[in-house]
C-alpha cells in the first residue's frame, strides 16, 4: 500500500514536459504544449510548436481585443499561453484555467498524469462532473 502511494506521488510530479494537443473534433495532432512550473510550483502551459504545418501561422481570431490572461485577438497561437494557475492537490493539479483559442473560451480545468506518457485534462464550466475530458500524449 505504501509503495502505491509513493508511485502516485512520483507520477503526479511528472506532468512537466512537452505534450501533443489534438483537435477535439478530428483527433488530429495540432500543437505541442510545454507544461512548466513557476517558482511557486504553479503549472502553466504554452503552445511551443504546430505539429501540423497547416497550422503554424494560425492566429487567435476569437481572442478578445484586450488581454485576458491568455492572449489577444490575432495573436499567433504558437507562443500563446493556454493553461494556467494549476496547483498540486494529491495526484492532480487543480484550480486552473484552460483557454481554447479556436473557440475563444476560457474554462476551468484540472490535469492528472494517468501513465508517464498519458495526461488527462478535464475541462468544465461550473461542475467538474459536467465537462469534457481530453488525453494528451507526451512528446518529450
Q: Per 3-state DSSP, what percentage of the chain is helix, strand, and coil (rounded to 5)?
A: 10, 50, 40
Q: pLDDT tens-digit profile of 53-92?
A: 999 999 999 999 888 888 899 999 999 999 999 999 999 9
pTM, entire model: 0.85
Q: Could you tell me which residues are beta bridge partners of residue 55?
A: none
Q: Which residues contact 64 (CB under 8 A, 6 or more apart)?
A: 72, 73, 104
Domain around 107: 2-138
What's the CATH number where 58 sits? Answer: 2.40.128.520
Secondary structure (3-state) at 4: helix
How far is the C-alpha of 99 from the C-alpha of 33, rounded, in Å?
A: 12
The domain tally of the chain equals: 1
Question: How confident is the prediction along the chain (140 residues), in pLDDT tens digits per residue?
Answer: 444 554 444 444 489 999 999 876 777 899 999 999 999 999 999 999 999 999 999 999 999 988 888 889 999 999 999 999 999 999 999 999 999 888 888 999 999 999 999 999 999 988 777 889 999 999 98
Amino acid at each position: 500500500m505504501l509503495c502505491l502511494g509513493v508511485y502516485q506521488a512520483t507520477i503526479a510530479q511528472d506532468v512537466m514536459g512537452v505534450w501533443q494537443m489534438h483537435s477535439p473534433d478530428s483527433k488530429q495532432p495540432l500543437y505541442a504544449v510545454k507544461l512548466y512550473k513557476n517558482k511557486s510550483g504553479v503549472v502553466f502551459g504554452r503552445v511551443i510548436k504546430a505539429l501540423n504545418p497547416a497550422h503554424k501561422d494560425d492566429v487567435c481570431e476569437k481572442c478578445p481585443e484586450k488581454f485576458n490572461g491568455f492572449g489577444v485577438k490575432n495573436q499567433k497561437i504558437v507562443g500563446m499561453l493556454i493553461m494556467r494557475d494549476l496547483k498540486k492537490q494529491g495526484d492532480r493539479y487543480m484550480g486552473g484555467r484552460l483557454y481554447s483559442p479556436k473557440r475563444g473560451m476560457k474554462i476551468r480545468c484540472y490535469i492528472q498524469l494517468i501513465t508517464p506518457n498519458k495526461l488527462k485534462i478535464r475541462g468544465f464550466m461550473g461542475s467538474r462532473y459536467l465537462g469534457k475530458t481530453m488525453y494528451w500524449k507526451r512528446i518529450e
